[in-house]
Structure 1
Amino acid sequence: MSFFLRAVAAPLAALSLLANAALPAAPAPKRKPAAQPAAPAVTVDTRPWLFERSDIPPDPEWHFGKLSTGLRYAVRKNGVPPGQVAVRVRIDAGSLNERDSEQGYAHLIEHLSFRGSKYVPDGEAKRVWQRFGATFGSDSNAQTTATQTVYKLDLPGATQESLDESLKIFAGMMAEPAITERGLAAERPAVLAEQREAPGPQVRWSDAMRGLFFAHQPLADRSPIGNVKTLMAATPASIKAFHDLWYRPARTVVIISGDIDPDVAAKLVVKNFGGWHGKGADPADPDFGKPDPSAPETATIVEPALPPIVAMATLRPWIARDDTIIFNQKRFIDFLAVRVINRRLETRARAGGSFLQATMSLDDMSRSANGTFTNILPLGDDWHAALKDVRAVIADAMATPPTQGEIEREYAEFDAAMRNDVGTARVEAGAKQADDMVGALDIRETVAGPQTSYDILKQAHDKGMFTPASILESTKRIFTGVTRALVNTRTADGATPAAVAAALKEDVSGLVGARKAQGSVDFSRLPKLGKPGKVDTREHVGDPGIEKIVFKNGVRMLLYANASETGRVYLRVRFGRGYTTLPAKTPTPAWAGDMALVPGGIGKLDQGDLDALTNGRRIGMDLDITDDAFVFNAMTTPGDYADNLLLMAEKLAYPRWDPAPVMRARAAMLAGYPGLDSSPDGILSRDLERRIRHGDVRWGTPAKTEVEALTPQSFRAFWQPILAKGPIEVDVFGDVKPDEAIAAVARTFGALKPRKPDDAPAVPVGFPAHVDKPVVLTHGGPETQAAAVIAWPTAGGAAGHAEMRRLDILASVFADRLFDRLRSVAGASYSPSAQSQWPLGMSTGGRIIALGQVQPDKVDLFFKLSREIAAELVAKPVDTDELRRTVVPTLQFLARASSGNQFWLIQSSGGAYDPARIEAIQTMVDDLASITPATLQATAAKYLRPDKDWTLAVVPRKAGEAPPVAGK
């Protein structure tokens, strides 16, 4: 059983209709009419095939069928989001089905299938689905793993006709993809580009780990991407032979979850896939092997770009077991055992132990092994001390049972998560249900409904299965098997396989010492806030029913009480003024806030106390920094949101300044620095945001010297005044009663003392001057990797919402053309992109930016194509079909997103102080539907000016060349 800890809002349901009315009719696509599939002469067995060997009650929402050809389907009705139908076509074949000479074929077929197939001309599938409102890459995509290939479509505004057409396309892709010389010549470079653009150090680490853990098994050297030798040697004939062997009905499952009658969906599956028959006899499943005790136990690698890492595995043979109730209940025991150890490891890391982080997990890895995996990030370079301390925690757990209190604490987290899944089941997205089904099929398990999963957990608890003895037995068992350990070091410091093997055999018994029990904590231990605040004004400020409340102390609130997402409440607390008033030239420790501010505690309670206080409840607090505010975020429940608000208010009023999280944040940041120089992507993630803002230190990765200078004192000196001054806006959106929500804010933020104003002037954001030649940065990674960036300045501010949306569409058209020319035609980049970034909280800082990772000799091509596209958009209006293929998916996305409360929260947040944000919601449809080829051309002429663009190239560093200084 796969279980996943997991009145309608006025949706923009008519968006696509309005857009269609506003845009001229699209010309019919120029292609040959496709023959309809012949009516299949097949029979269908509608028994729930997924549950044939299980006593778990089948989820009645899923409708199953098995065709006489062997193809299976699972379909269900789901209206989240309204109008969308999620389709998944799963082929039970991945890279482990390849022979040595076929490495990469499964993934290559995925590319070729999307390019063209029986019913779709070359390159047309993307456009067909765009006309249906689907965005390529997010709504339509595919993925190849070691054990499966999955084709995905989230079809918006679905009708029976559009689903029928989509399933016909998929059926053609599965049965007869266009495996031709032309297609191969176009897609092979794209696959090689995908391989080339992968981060080298991480790939080498992953390869080394697979090679050690799964030695003498196919998984050891079967990456889905393949290798250059086999990809270059591939021919249409050899690829087709692999396709014909593994692509067949008996290895295919069609999964549909969406806003459509299940019977209709099932009939469409039969109609479109029923005539497909495999070629030749069905092949036997390949043997994935089992862990080999005679293989090497340890290995080391030297990757300077990665921090020291220790990866351990205890491996057992993977066995396909009947997915029964008792099997799952015993697995719950294993998961609780892992949670107990993980909490102990996190407690040691917080206290300043020898490791920054250490986590354990259980996994059935690609049906090649059932494993217990432990990953350790040492503090500094001392991997040996970190390994020793983690092994000591594990040894202690294997020697002495946990207390019943520890078990109940972890059980409460499980119980709360699964109760929440039950409570929110009616708003679970269809795409998630389809993906969960894919995941279950891959590991040969069932999918139970949330209530059934929760009942199985409760029955185990009621039977007394979660005891110190059972957890101890489980701990011993999950650490029994073939042991493997891999260590990475930055330099060859004596970490040899023999040294690691010796470290694994060291006696660590008794090193942990006495276990520290977490004391009992309740909300009475929190500092006291003032008396509940009084409401000054309350008014309706905009559709879909958003209210604005102002309290006597100046705190403002946006409230959207809506039960469309049963059991979910979204909280957002905006305080201060964010990046707007931070200095542009003087570095600050703002970067450390996310890692150290929230874990610092409240009053006299540290993070461990707060964890105990909120145990078994859906209460959280994440910190973000936006253009014009610092923000606490949480997704909680109707029963928990009031206490969640209390903790957020307490954090502002009574922060605890624990030095340990600050020093942990400092160490974590320093550990990642070498990796930032190892690839173009690393250089861009480190430097681009700062450089594109003309050296503004508020953005980008801080210089290493800035991080090294961080102390608990400097952290507190920066953050303490920020918590104490400036405006506060509290946003409560979701399943709440209006008066109760207002009272909850009155008791918390309304009870705070009036805030000191933050009258500092807004600091404008710059944009670098035009350069005739690109700014050049260098990286220390592979000589085949480079990146190119081109950007044009725009503006910002919510009042310019119509301009913002025109720029969004302009950037989407730009991105689509760049993708077609740079990837589909030239094969020079796997994932070139372009987007408009328009800050709502500032009047400056906006830009259109395009980026591509390419080979060094293709950098100039990127700039050439980008400037050609910009010039074309200025010189000539886009045609009607291209505009529709851009606007309609955008409107469909908004129509789907608007069915959820989080969408309205994101759109309106900040509106208590900036009414233009509320106004922008009301004009969303008109802003987009009013875009015409002429207005888009005028927008391009205004911004895509050749005298304003700024360019940057990241190229391989020459031997002996000094690396650039981070943060400059």
Structure 2
Amino acid sequence: MNLNLKLSAVALALVITSGSAIAQVKKKPAVAAKNKPAAAQVATKGNLLPVDDQVIIGKLPNGLTYYIRKNVEPKNKAELYLVNKAGSVLETDDQQGLAHFTEHMAFNGTRDFPKNQMVDYLQKSGVKFGADLNAYTSFNETVYQLPIPSDTVKIFENGFKILANWAGYVSFDPSEIDKERGVVLEEERLRGKNAQERLQLQTLPVLLNNSRYALRLPIGKEDILKNFKPETIKSFYHDWYRPDLQAVIAVGDFDPKRVEELIKQDFSQLQNPAGEKPRTKYTVPPTPGTAVKIATDKEFPYTLAQIVVKHPGAPTKTTTDYMQQIREQLFNQMLNARLGELLQKPNPPFLYGRSSYGDFIGEQDAFTSIAVSKPGELEAAVKAVVAETERARKFGFTLTELERAKQDALVGIGNAYKERDKTRSVNFVREYQQNFLTGEAIPGIEFEYNFYVNNIGKITLAEMNALAGKFISDQNRVVIVEGPDKDKDKLPDEKTILQWIASAGQNITAYVDNVSSDPLMSKLPDGSAVTNEVKDEAIGTTTLTLGNGVKVVLKPTEFRNDQILINGYSFGGTSLASDDDFTSANLAAPIVSSSGIAQFNQGQLDKKLAGKNVNISPYISDYAQGINGNSSPADFETAMQLVYLYFTQPRKDKDIWQSQIDQTRSLLANRGLDPVNVFQDTVSAVLSNHNFRSMVTTIDRLNKATLDKAYSFYKSRFANASGFTFTLVGNFNVETIKPFLIHYLGALPSTNSNENYKNLEIHPPAGIINTTVNKGVGEKSSVQLVFSGDYDYNDANNLQMDALEEVLNIKLIERLREQESGVYAPGVRASYHKIPGGRYTITIYFGCAPENVDKLINATIEEIGKIKQNGAQPTDIQKFVAKEARSTQEQLKENFFWTSYLASSLQNKENPDQILSHVSSLEQVTVQSTKDAANKYLSGKNYIKLVLMPEKTEKK
């Protein structure tokens, strides 16, 4: 369960610190299933977009809307969603946080599933709580998701009963409410009580103009969450969980007519309340001129500026709307391609820069520019980002830029069209959800593809060049500057930041599109012939050995229509670099993969590949080097050319080297301000026994690294392909692609030397270690408990380790979350490997209040003790087996699984056929086997306790 704020303009801090954000570009209506080709549509004003005829849309007499679609990806599974037009924006003053709390209570007892029976029932059916069974609350909606098997009639039909229970029959048992208070408060602690939250509280009132949205963050207020009476939350549920504000979405492998019957059967009895409240639509009122907010925090490690120009927004409903949406997509792509090129300069003007137009909030769109600067260089960052928009406004785009953007857009829509019969059910659900919530059109991929093909060529350069002027304005504009407290004196005041923005781009010139007309390769390599061919009929693979020693494992599939996944590896990696050269070696692959190839720099290469569905990158890990990538069948030869060139003509780019070193140095400067970074750096140090190779690099080591050493190490790692094994999985015919393998992979350089990795013995130290980090001003702690040791890597042991991990997850959710109400999301991660030596690590992690650390650690150790003494409970084993069987059956139909699995089997010298007996082997997990595994792997002989606590304050 999560809080979804959908605030693109304030998401940057999250982009940098957690790797996630809400995309700001408007989403195209998602893909639809196979249908007859639609007629070409002309973009005439007022033409309503059609409704995809593959979806059944209906409404019950009580007002509940439903969407039903048959879809067989994945097979024997259905996605059932309950969507409520009820979120935090509807809360009264004394209900703040109760929209989200209501979501929690839906999993803690309903009419037909008292207390925790619903979660328990679904887990036994193979549905995992949190990963599968989940929900989210936002300003305007609360959405429940239930992926459920459709091949067992009772389980499937009960899925609709569960949705109906959420919709109208949540119990709100007072004792369950009191238990859940702690869980919700811990969710707030986990996601908040940090620099991002504190800055958000300063900036949102300005960004959202003190509107209802600024006053109704979904998490609510702590004092209300701690003290509200059951009647208050029941009142919210009574007022807003009602059928005329609800939709049921069902997409999956089922009979649509039977599903419609089930919806009518389970939801027709729901009633709207008498004298129902009107569902107000809240907006963010425009602000004359520009509002500026400067905000700082002690723990914020970046300096950034955001410029948000708000515009009236509306869902895409007509062909005119859709044409404009395509223009916006092209505009965003071209503008950000230019910003990306600035990062390829030897001294980039920013750490991160982006500008785009798209959805905002409160029936608004926004043109948002974001610049993250190096320490002390905010002016340069802001001016560089703003100048690119100004350059587009003054001089426009070039015809070559527009053509490339159109090609890429056609590739994107073409991919969706080619995969129209392989689209996963959840993609349709998201589309129908937006249709219900906002009225966004759902024309289906047939219409969309034909519309693109027939209309994108009509978009002119003049139309695109007019957009920058439309998006840029000094009205209804908000400028936000954020930075660390220690740099407060260096930040601009309101007058200065506005001067920077106004003066940016004063001396700019027109953009020059640096393209090359040279082919990637002018001559086809001779290659080498196939010297051996072995087929494995059981799993459908063919293994070729080429004359230069390269091995290629091929698995043709029909899981995707337009995808071939490519992976190649050989042993060695940075383990072969000396300690003095390690930092240079560790940078080698990132530098080369960002530098282009042969005579093409990275910008030229990106432009050369426009309109192609291909992505190839080299990598060097601790113990291997290789190639990862993918392509469409049509672009497979281009993929092979790129692989060949990354081996034979890697590019040495001084500008890219200097750029990356400069960026890394800047990121390290304030890293120590963030408590999470400090804690994770300590974790890395302790678990590697303070081996510098596994720790964050230092400025001193960075300064000693050189491009010559990095480039030389890269070339040495890719000088001998005779030890390489490639795995190719996807839609291809072995005989058809064999000539490409012979000519390109068969031509890779070979010295026939036999290289291997070095075991550097980097692993957690033996014994018992306790480490506490005191960092952070928020009342927030993190805990990691690590058990480790030697490991006999084999299929039987791996199965028992996986079972132990899941059983521990189940027990710690029950104990730490449900019983103790002390955490939100405890987790267990069991990892084990054969390379470079047999080792295992089991890590238990959770966040909590500082005063509860010892109590929750003791509870964890107690639960481990129960498994060591008695083994797992049979019902928990049943849950693991059900989940593992379901997930295995799904994975066997996925290209990504097979690519990873085949490579892993080869590296570990395992028989890949054993995956076919994995489900039947699950019977080997018993009460006794889990007891044995717990005593073996959780003995406590090697036990590391790592705790993050807030900074100690001196008592006055």
TM-score, normalization: structure 2? 0.90
Partner of 1:511: 507
Return the letter of the residue paired with 1:193: E
Quick check: 1:795–1:838 contact (8 Å CA) kept in 2? no
| Structure 1 residue matching 2:599: 3-state secondary structure | coil
**Does residue 570 of the first structure (1) align with residue 595 of the second (2)?**
no
Paired position in structure 2 for 1:97: 90
Equivalence for 2:767: 770
Is 1:225 matched with 2:219?
yes
Q: For 1:487 and 1:722, how far apart are their aligned partners in 2? A: 44
The answer to whether the Cα contact below 8 Å between 2:589 and 2:714 also exists between their aligned partners in 1 is no
Cα deviation code 1:113-170 (max 9, x no counterpart): 1121111111222111111110111110001112211101111354332121121122
1:482 to 1:242, Cα distance in 2 relative to 1, 3 A: same
Task: Tell me how far apart the structure 2 counterparts of residues 406 and 497 of structure 1 sit (CA, whole Å).
Answer: 37
Match of 1:386 among 369, 381, 389: 381
The alignment partner of 2:376 has SS state of: coil
In the other structure, the counterpart of 1:609 is: 604
Counterparts of 1:858 and 1:181, CA distance in 2: 24
Which amino acid is the alignment partner of residue 512 of structure 2? Answer: K
Residues 242-261 of structure 1 mapped to structure 2, 5 A cutoff: 242-261=236-255
Aligned residue among 894, 899, 919 for 2:893: 899
Aligned-partner Cα distance in 2 for 1:114–1:673 = 43
Check whether the contact 2:572–2:756 (CA below 8 A) recurs between aligned residues: no
Deviations 1:742-792 (A, max 9, x none): 322222221112144424533334322222x6222232x234111111122
The equivalent of 1:652 in structure 2 is 647
Written as runs of structure 1 = structure 2, the 5 A alignment for 1:292-303 is: 292-294=286-288, 297-303=291-297
Amino acid in structure 2 at the alignment position of 1:269 = I
Asked if 1 retains the 8 angstrom alpha-carbon contact of 2:356 and 2:367, the reply is yes
Pick the aligned partner of 1:138 from 131, 134, 143. 131
Structure 2 counterpart of 1:202, from 193, 196, 199:
196
Could you list the per-position Cα deviations for residues 45-71 of structure 1 after superposition, in whole angstroms to 9, with x for gaps in the alignment? xxxxxxxx9722221221111111010
Q: Please tell me whether residue 433 in structure 1 is matched to residue 428 in structure 2.
A: yes
In 1, distance between residues paired with 2:503 and 2:379?
A: 13
Partner of 1:632: 627
TM-aligned CA distance change 1:710 to 1:284, over 3 Å: farther
Cα separation, 2, equivalents of 1:881 and 1:54: 57
Report SS of the residue matched to 1:506. Answer: helix
Matches within 5 A, 1:289-688: 289-294=283-288, 297-303=291-297, 304-318=299-313, 320=314, 323-351=317-345, 352-462=347-457, 464=458, 466-480=459-473, 481-490=475-484, 491-503=487-499, 506-523=502-519, 525-526=520-521, 530-541=525-536, 543-578=538-573, 581=576, 587-589=582-584, 591-592=586-587, 595-623=590-618, 628-673=623-668, 676-677=671-672, 681-688=676-683
Question: What is the distance in 2 between the residues matched to 1:356 and 1:97?
Answer: 39
Q: In structure 2, what residue type is equivalent to 1:3?
A: K
Structure 1 residue aligned with 2:690 = 695
Runs of 4+ more than 6 Å apart: 583-586
**Secondary structure of 2:179 counterpart:** helix
User: What does the per-residue CA deviation read over 1:86-110, in whole Å, with 9 as the maximum and x for residues that have no partner?
Assistant: 1111111112222333221111111
After alignment, is 613-622 or 661-670 more displaced? 661-670
Asked if structure 1 preserves the Cα contact closer than 8 Å seen for 2:624 and 2:757, the reply is: no
Whether 1:930 aligns to 2:924 is yes
Rounded Cα–Cα distance in structure 2 between residues aligned with 1:686 and 1:203? 22
Other-structure match for 2:827: 833
Query: Which runs of 5 or more structure 2 residues have no equivalent in the other structure?
Result: 1-25, 32-45
In 1, distance between residues paired with 2:512 and 2:408?
20
CA distance in 2, matches of 1:296, 1:514: 28
Instruction: Extract unaligned runs of 5+ from structure 1.
Output: 7-52, 962-968
Contact 1:732 1:741 in 2 (8 A): no
Q: Secondary structure in 2 aligned to 1:188?
A: helix
Tell whether the 8 Å contact from 1:103 to 1:224 is kept in structure 2 after alignment: yes
Contact 2:779 2:849 in 1 (8 A): yes
Task: State the superposition RMSD in angstroms.
Answer: 2.5
Q: Residues 306-360 of structure 1: CA distance to partner in whole angstroms, max 9, x if unpaired?
A: 3111111110233x45601121112211221222211111112222331132112
Please give the TM-score of this superposition, normalised by the length of structure 1.
Answer: 0.89
Q: Output the CA distance in 2 between the equivalents of 1:357 and 1:800.
A: 44
Residues in 2 aligned to 1:601 and 1:477: alpha-carbon distance in whole angstroms? 35
Aligned twin of 2:749:
753
Whether the aligned pair in 1 keeps the contact of 2:420 and 2:445 (CA below 8 Å) is yes
> Which residue of structure 2 aligns with residue 811 of structure 1?
805
Secondary structure in structure 1 of the residue aligned to 2:431: helix
2:3 aligned residue: none
Alignment partners' CA distance in 2, 1:594 and 1:254: 48
Of the structure 1 ranges 627-636 and 560-569, higher mean CA displacement relative to structure 2 is found in: 627-636
Residue 279 of structure 1 and its aligned partner are, at CA, apart by: 1.8
Deviations 1:813-861 (A, max 9, x none): 1111111111112121111101210125333332111111112222212
Match of 1:72 in 2: 65
Deviations 1:159-186 (A, max 9, x none): 3321211211221122121223212211
d(CA) in 1 for partners of 2:819, 2:584: 45
Task: For 2:537 and 2:908, locate their aligned partners in 1 and report how far apart those are by CA, in whole Å.
Answer: 13
Distance in 2 (CA, whole Å) between partners of 1:500 and 1:315 is 22
1:179 corresponds in structure 2 to 172
User: Which shifted more, 841-850 or 234-243?
Assistant: 841-850
Tell me which of 194, 206, 209 is aligned to 1:212: 206
SS at match of 1:909: helix
Q: Distance in 2 between matches of 1:370 and 1:649?
A: 45
Relative to structure 1, is the Cα distance of residues 228 and 93 closer, same or farther in structure 2, using a 3 angstrom cutoff? same
CA contact (8 A) 2:301 2:671 kept: no
Offset of residue 209 of structure 1 = 4.0
**What displacement does 1:606 show?**
0.6
* Other-structure match for 1:3: 28
- Superposition deviation, residue 589 in structure 1: 4.1
Higher deviation after alignment, 806-815 or 783-792: 783-792
Distance 1:669 1:920 in 2: 44
2:271 aligned residue (271, 277, 284) = 277
Displacement of 1:223 in angstroms is 1.9
SS for the counterpart of 2:560 is coil
Identity %: 19
Give distance in 2, aligned partners of 1:238 and 1:123. Answer: 22
Structure 2 Cα separation of the partners of residues 910 and 744 of structure 1: 25
Say which is worse superposed, 819-828 or 501-510, in terms of deviation: 501-510
Distance 2:953 2:581 in 1: 34
How far residue 250 of structure 1 moved from its aligned partner, in angstroms, is 0.8
Residue type of the alignment partner of 2:594: P
Aligned to 2:725: 729
Q: Which SS does the other structure have where 1:836 is aligned? A: strand
Q: What is the match of residue 59 of structure 1?
A: 52
Contact 1:95–1:145 (8 Å) recurs in 2:
yes
Secondary structure, counterpart of 1:454 in structure 2: helix
In structure 2, do the counterparts of structure 1 residues 604 and 673 end up closer, same or farther at CA, with 3 Å as the change threshold?
same
C-alpha separation in 1, matches of 2:920 and 2:169: 43
Q: Indicate the larger mover: 653-662 or 59-68.
A: 653-662
Q: Is the 8 A contact 1:569 1:734 kept in 2?
A: yes
Aligned residues: 908
Partner of 2:22: none
Paired with 1:691 and 1:581, the residues of 2 have a C-alpha distance of: 23
Distance 1:795 1:527, change over 3 A: farther
